[in-house]
Structure formats: structure tokens, C-alpha cells
Amino acid sequence: MKNVDALIIGSSAAGFAAAITVRRHYPDAGIAMIRQEEKTLVPCGIPYIFGTLGSTGKNLFPDPVLANNDVDLIIGKATAIDREEKTVTLDSGEAIGYEKLLLTTGSVPLIPPIPGVDMENVFSIKKDVAYLDHLLDVLKKSKDVVIIGGGFIGMEMADECRKLNSANITVVEMLSHCLFMVFDEDICVRTEEELAEAGITIRTSQQVKSLGGNGKVEYVELESGERLQADAVILGIGVRPNTKMAQQAGLVLGPTGAVAVDHHMMTSDPHIFAAGDCAEKVSFFTGKPAKTWLASVATAEARIAAANLFEIRRVNKGAVSVFSTKIGNIACGSAGICERDAAQAGIAYVVGAAESPDKHPGSLPNATQLRVKLVFRKYSGTLIGGQVCGGETVGELVNLIAAMIQTEMNADQIATFQMGTHPLLTASPVTYQVVNAAEIALCKMMHLTV
């Protein structure tokens, strides 16, 4: 029987980050990783397989990284954990012993209980190369595509599918707006308008009643009775933690159904840690359970868990929730709590917003209007959230806002923040959006007219 110091189950974003971190913190440790798939897809890149990239082969994690870090990659399905013997059994019957085990088993797509969901040409977004290759082949031949769910996956899939062929694409979302779980209404409307201008039909405030067809899907029936023609249906309504093996091993689960962990990412077994979508999360702001399943959170947790395997070195302060996307020509991002969530949570807050070109002067080629909205606690002035909408600078700007949130900067500190600017790269130092949004919010707190 093979024995290792650190055994990792799962090789997506959290698994890769964990393996590299273990090696950095414990140079002499024997490390092995178990994964079921021959190749691992980059999860956030999956929608781009169907348009921008054109194949699954261009969206894979680089396995040489594991070899370069002396990580033994074992291809096989882990089927059981024996906590007393400290072993993991594979479907081949082989057992691998461990000193410390790290679960990064991720999540699986939610499949809604809709009649007809098991028909041919109805797909979820699985992290499986052969499955997605088949989906790509079907989409190339489809004239009518219906996407159920208007979150990140649904909207990005719609945007990419339109690049594949001239199919009629419809997004069906039960909420009043697409992306409404993560963005305030103004950004949701802008992304919907962007897709509509590209010829994609957006159907909000609509629920799916059933899928119909003779073995192969032919239409989607809405609760209103309307039928949408469909050669292919994509389910993009979310995911759930993949915890079956952990549960069978007797590990405690948390309120959201993920594996319960402490602030060091340790499970109810001191020899087993968990990170990523399979691990329970709490909000950075409230300490309450949070369903924040993002690759950025997963890799941060993996670096905490891996560093703590043999000696406690890091603490998880909770999920901030930082993300960005690009729909058509509009990029948008969010960090922390949006204005709507702050109101629903009963948090007293003040908002500051500023908009200007992302280059200066605004007459420079490719300059784009960039809008920043910041949310502060009303009395302390601490930054708790921010949303950005504009051009491709959004991705890194929202990361800057996330850093400000995690270091608990207040409105005055941000208003006097010294930034580096350049005409071709940033907004003007006079109109720098983050600084001006903070100044506007600060003046509101001070009851000044702005």
C-alpha cells in the first residue's frame, strides 16, 4: 500500500492551489493527488469552449505544474475514506494511506425536478471533457437553443453560443432580472440590453414547467403555457457541494450541506481538511453561512488549508465574494455586499458612485465609460462592497476594491488614497472613480451637499 504525508482528492482550482501550497510550505512532504478525470478543465473557462476557444483542449489545467512540484498524480475514482485506518480506497481496489487528507472535491450541477429534464440534448455544465465535447457538437448543429438560468453560467453561455452559429438563443430566468443574485438592478439591465442588442432573447420572471419531445428535446414549456422551440437545452441554475464521500465517512456537514470546517479549514476529523466548493463557508461580513462558490474563494481556502496541514499557520476570515464577468462588450464586477443585500440585511449604509472614462482624456482611442459604486457602513465609514461596470479594466479594479474591503479601509482613507495613473491605462487622477465615489459617500456621512 502506498503511503503519503499529504493526500489531495480533487484537482480543480482548489486542488491545484493546494498541491502547490503544500510543496511550498512543507518542502520534504510526500504529496499525492487523486482525480477521476484524465484531464482537468479550468472551471471558469468552460463557457468559452463554445465560442472564443472553440475546443475543450484549449481550456485545461497544465499537469506539468504538478510534476514540477513533485506531486504524484493518481488517475482513479476515490470511493471511500477509512478514517480509523487513514486510508482512501480507489475504484481499482487500491488503498492509499495518508497522514493528512485534503478534500477538494468541488461541486456538481443542480438538476431541477422538471419533467423531461432527462431527455436527449438536455445538458448541464459538467466538468467533463467528453461530455462537453458532445455538447459542443450538438450546439454546432442546433437552430434553437434555450438556456435555463440567467446567472453567470447562463449569461456567459448565451454570449458564447451566439459566436458559434446563427442559432436562436433564449435565456429563461425566474427572477425579475438576469444576474440579479449578484448585481444591483442597474448593472443587470445593462447586461440584458447588451445581449438583446446581439439578438439574444431574454425572458425574465418566467418559470419552466416542462421539457417536451419524443425522446429528444423539442421544446421548453413555460408556466404561462408558451412553448419555446429547442434543439438543445442548457441548465445553468447553479451547483451544490460534492460531499457524498465525506458524508459516507461520517464527517460533519454544515448548514448549506457542505463539509463543516473551522477557521483553519479543518473538518470534524483533525487529520482531514477541506477547501473549495465542497467546504462550508461563512460570510466575511456576518459570520453566517454563505453559498459563495467561486474559484477565487476556493483557491484562497486551499492555500489556507494546505499551509495548516501539519502546523496551524493561517486563518480564514470568511468569504468576501469577489467576481467579474464580461457580457458582450460590457464588463462588470462586484466585491462584498451590494446595496440591495445591505438593505435586506438591515445594515445602515451610504453609497457613493462616480463615473468617468477609463483613460484620460476621454477622447483617447478605446476609452470606455467606467462606473464605480461603493457601499460603506453609515456610521463607521468602513467599506463593505463595491460594483464596477465598464471596460476590461473592471477585472483588476474590482480586485482593488476587494483588497480595500479586506483591510477594512474607510471612506476617508480611500478618498485620500494615492493611486498611480497614466493616460493610456487609467482614469484621470482628478476623476479616478474609486476615490471620487468614496469622497461622495464621505460627504453624505458628514451631511454635506455634493
| CATH class of the structural domain 111-237 | alpha beta
Residue whose C-alpha is closest to residue 241's, from 6, 14, 8: 14
Q: Does position 448 have pLDDT exceeding 60, yes or no? A: no
Helix (H) or strand (E) holding 134: helix 129-141
Average pLDDT along the chain:
95
C-alpha to C-alpha distance for 145 and 326, rounded to whole angstroms:
21
pLDDT digits (tens, 9 = 90+) for 3-26: 999 999 999 999 999 999 999 999
* pLDDT, greater one: 1 or 426: 426
Mean pLDDT of 80-103: 97
Give the tens place of pLDDT for each residue, 187-205: 999 999 999 999 999 999 9
Specify the pLDDT at position 242. 97
The residue ranges of every structural domain in the chain are: 2-108+240-308, 111-237, 329-445
DSSP per-residue letters across 380-426: T-BEEEEEEEESTTHHHHHHHHHHHHHTT-BHHHHHT------TTTS
Look at the pTM and tell me if it is higher than 0.85: yes
pLDDT above 70 (res 449): no
Chain segment 340-363, per-residue pLDDT in tens: 999 988 999 999 999 999 999 999
Radius of gyration from C-alpha coordinates of the chain: 23
Percent of the chain with pLDDT over 70: 99
Give the span between the Cα atoms of 343 and 57, in whole angstroms. Answer: 44
Q: Do domains 2-108+240-308 and 111-237 have the same CATH topology?
A: yes
User: What is the dotted CATH code of the domain comprising 2-108+240-308?
Assistant: 3.50.50.60
22 touches 306 (CB < 8 A):
yes
Give tens-digit pLDDT for 265-302: 999 999 999 999 999 999 999 899 999 999 999 999 99
**Percent of the residues in the chain that have a pLDDT greater than 90, as a whole number:** 96
Question: Is the domain 329-445 a CATH 3.30.390.30 member?
Answer: yes
pLDDT for the residue numbered 450: 47
